Amino acid sequence: MGSLLIGQSGGPTSVINSSLIGAVKQALKEGKIDNIYGALYGISGVLSENFLNLKEYENELDTLAHTPAALLGSVRFMLPEPTIGNETYEKIISVFKKYNIEYFFYIGGNDSMDTCNKLNVYFQKVSFKCKVIGIPKTIDNDLVLTDHCPGYGSAAKYVATTLMEIYQDIQVYEKGRITIVEIMGRDAGWLTAASKLTRINDEGVDLIYLPEVPFDMSEFLNSVKTIYQKNKKVLVAVSEGIRDQNGEYILKYRSFNNNDSFGHLQLGGVSLVLCKIINEQLGLSTRAIELNLPQRCASHLTSLTDFKEAANCGKWAVKYALKGKTGVMISMNRISDYKIKYDCVPLSKVASFVKGFPTEWIINNNDISDEYLSYALPLIKGETGPKFYQGLPVHKKIKR
């Protein structure tokens, strides 16, 4: 019997560990897999043989599944092109041989699927027998060929719940402010669109801006002014990644910049930029709220549907791997209202593609159509009823 190696990569989500544990449980159940290793810090742990034996955690799997953020640690690491003889790939193969790795799963988003794809391409080229399977994970919901991505439902539930609470808060004064809530999403507006969910309880945001359509500052100021004149307060949901007609980020006007480890511009701060402009140009009082990391780690507010689906993606990775599938990502196919079929799609058709929010669901550049509600409501359904001890959520760490 061969062994299984699993890694996690990219930004964490509330349910990334549910996928990990889903795979571990199924592997244990099938009994056809020898060792189950976790690679610490993704591919960098593979290269440095920084592994742990996940079977040792057999009695703690449920608590681990409810702990937010990648238990195995994560990494932002781009593999080079898979040209034969490349030493990174050869190193990986030597490690895989040493540990008898027959199955490799990588839980992640776009960049991670690119890593999986390259690895599989290289293994095919050199006829190395290892099944490579990608398990989708991203709060951005921007992977193609899947109805949605594990992690999105919980993030959307967090965003909508938090906005409903903020809505209640900002209603208390007769004369309020312009509140700009900034939501994650560099290129895809899926998570910002979740602000639309607040409307089903009539606790709604007034304006919604996604990165899929150019942001027009004067139209924005006009809309804010009009709503303020009527309601004396305005609640705006805006994606951190909004850009102007020329494709330039609106946040470029901020006073302080950071870059991430890929040299990407670190986002964040567009709400403050918009507040400053409103304050200067309309003379209205403002408040910027950046929802920030809790969007991807507030596991106390996990969607039960999302949690289960994430586990199922892990489970199906094992099933498909044992059937001999490789070079695929597990995908979720919505076959009725509401049921999910777990399929495989070729990694080559997923890696590096981005599924934007459908522009036909964007109304007037500042609103979302009700079709989105039919799409999203099933994804946020149910609560996991997290365990608390002494008033605080119970998390479990893996010793890294």
What residues are labeled active site?
140
Q: In the β-sheet with 3-8, what is the strand arrangement from edge to edge? A: 51-53, 36-39, 3-8, 101-108, 131-136, 328-336, 339-346
- Contacts by 340-344, CB closer than 8 A, 24 or more apart: 340/147, 340/309, 340/312, 342/312, 342/313, 342/316, 344/133, 344/320
The single residue among 287, 319, 325, 334 that binds a copy of itself, judged by CB under 8 A, is 287
Residues 148-167 that bind a copy of itself (CB under 8 A): 157, 160-162, 164-166
Q: Given its phi and psi angles, is residue 83 left (phi above 0), alpha (psi -120 to 50 degrees) or beta?
A: beta
Residues 196-215 that bind a copy of itself (CB under 8 A): 197-198, 200-203
In a 3-state reduction of DSSP, which class is residue 73? coil
Based on the number of CB atoms within 10 Å of its own CB, is 188 exposed (0-12), middle (13-18) or buried (19 or more)?
Answer: buried
Rounded to the nearest 10°, the torsion over CA 191, 393, 313, 95 is 110
Residues 301-320 that bind a copy of itself (CB under 8 A): 301, 303, 305
The single residue among 53, 58, 62, 173 that binds a copy of itself, judged by CB under 8 A, is 173
State the nearest-atom distance from the C-beta of 172 to a copy of itself, in Å.
Answer: 4
State the nearest-atom distance from the C-beta of 394 to a copy of itself, in Å.
Answer: 8
Task: By CB under 8 A, tell whether 334 contacts a copy of itself.
Answer: no
Binding mask 17-46 for a copy of itself (x = CB under 8 A): ------------------------x--x--
State the nearest-atom distance from the C-beta of 126 to a copy of itself, in Å.
Answer: 29
Binding mask 127-146 for a copy of itself (x = CB under 8 A): --------------------
Task: By CB under 8 A, tell whether 168 contacts a copy of itself.
Answer: yes
Read off φ and ψ for residue 116, nearest 5 degrees.
-55, -45
**Rg of the chain in Å (alpha carbons):** 22
User: Quick one: which segment of 117-125, 134-142, 337-345, 391-399 binds a copy of itself (CB under 8 A)?
Assistant: 391-399
User: 194 or 344, CB closer to a copy of itself?
Assistant: 194
